[in-house]
Amino acid sequence: MSIINQLKWRYAAKRYNGQKVPTEKLNNILEAIRLSASSNGLQPYSVLVIEDAELRKQLSPAAMNQPQITESSHLLVFAAWETITEKDVYEFIDQTASLRNVNVESLNGVKEYLLSAVQKPADQNFNWAARQAYIALGTALVAAAEEKVDTTPMEGFDAAAFDGLLGLEERGLKSVALLSLGYRDAENDWNANLPKARREKEKLFIHLESLKKEFA
């Protein structure tokens, strides 16, 4: 499978050569994010696409001055919705009905489920939204590998500082993860040519034939 070869090729780049990712490749990665799996399709997050070198330089101290922030071509900031409201649900239902050319009433089951879900405490909804954003992050990693674009997923940053610099609070967003895009500087990247270290499949996967047999 070609996807397996791409995943063997990809790694978390530590240094980039500054080369720009072509617009077509970037758009393909962004479209993969847009089409990513999401619970009920709600997608309770936004993705900021930052190319401007000066802005990334300003953000760098809040990300421990990791060179991937400034040396890469683009920086994606995955930001979850701080709260999920009934208004968000109604807008999603209206959009879904329009796209599928069906009556809004035919989606009452989904609507009622989502409306009940948003009644949970705000922190629970935010944590759920953050997990949804991570699904999109994983999709972006695979899509970038398919485009032969290097990536670095990052959690090592001051989210509050990022939120302040990017004005996310005004948008009702909180940053949860970063993803740099670009091309590896293999000569200066200590991680570029190391074998990929992953758990053996025998230890990673547990095949259950029968719950009764497994836990007897």
Domain containing residue 78: CATH number: 3.40.109.10
Residues in the chain: 216
Q: What is the per-residue burial (b if ≥16 Cβ within 10 Å, else e) of 83-101?
A: ebeeebbeebbeebbeeee
> 35: domain range?
2-215
pLDDT of residue 208: 87
Report the number of distinct structural domains present in the chain. 1
Amino acid at 131: R
Can you tell me the distance from the alpha carbon of 166 to that of 175, in angstroms, rounded to the nearest whole number?
Answer: 10
Can you tell me the distance from the alpha carbon of 40 to that of 148, in angstroms, rounded to the nearest whole number?
Answer: 30
CB contact at 8 A, 105 and 137: no
CB contact at 8 A, 149 and 182: yes
Tally of CB atoms within 10 A around 214: 10
pLDDT tens per residue across all 216 residues of the chain: 699 999 999 999 999 999 999 999 999 999 999 999 999 899 999 999 999 999 999 999 999 999 999 999 999 999 999 999 999 999 999 999 999 999 999 999 999 999 998 899 999 999 999 999 999 999 999 999 999 999 999 999 999 999 999 999 999 999 999 999 999 999 999 999 999 999 999 999 998 886 666 555
177 forms beta bridges with 78
Q: Provide CB contacts within 8 A for 15, sequence distance 6+.
A: 67, 68, 71, 184, 185, 188, 189, 192
pTM: 0.93
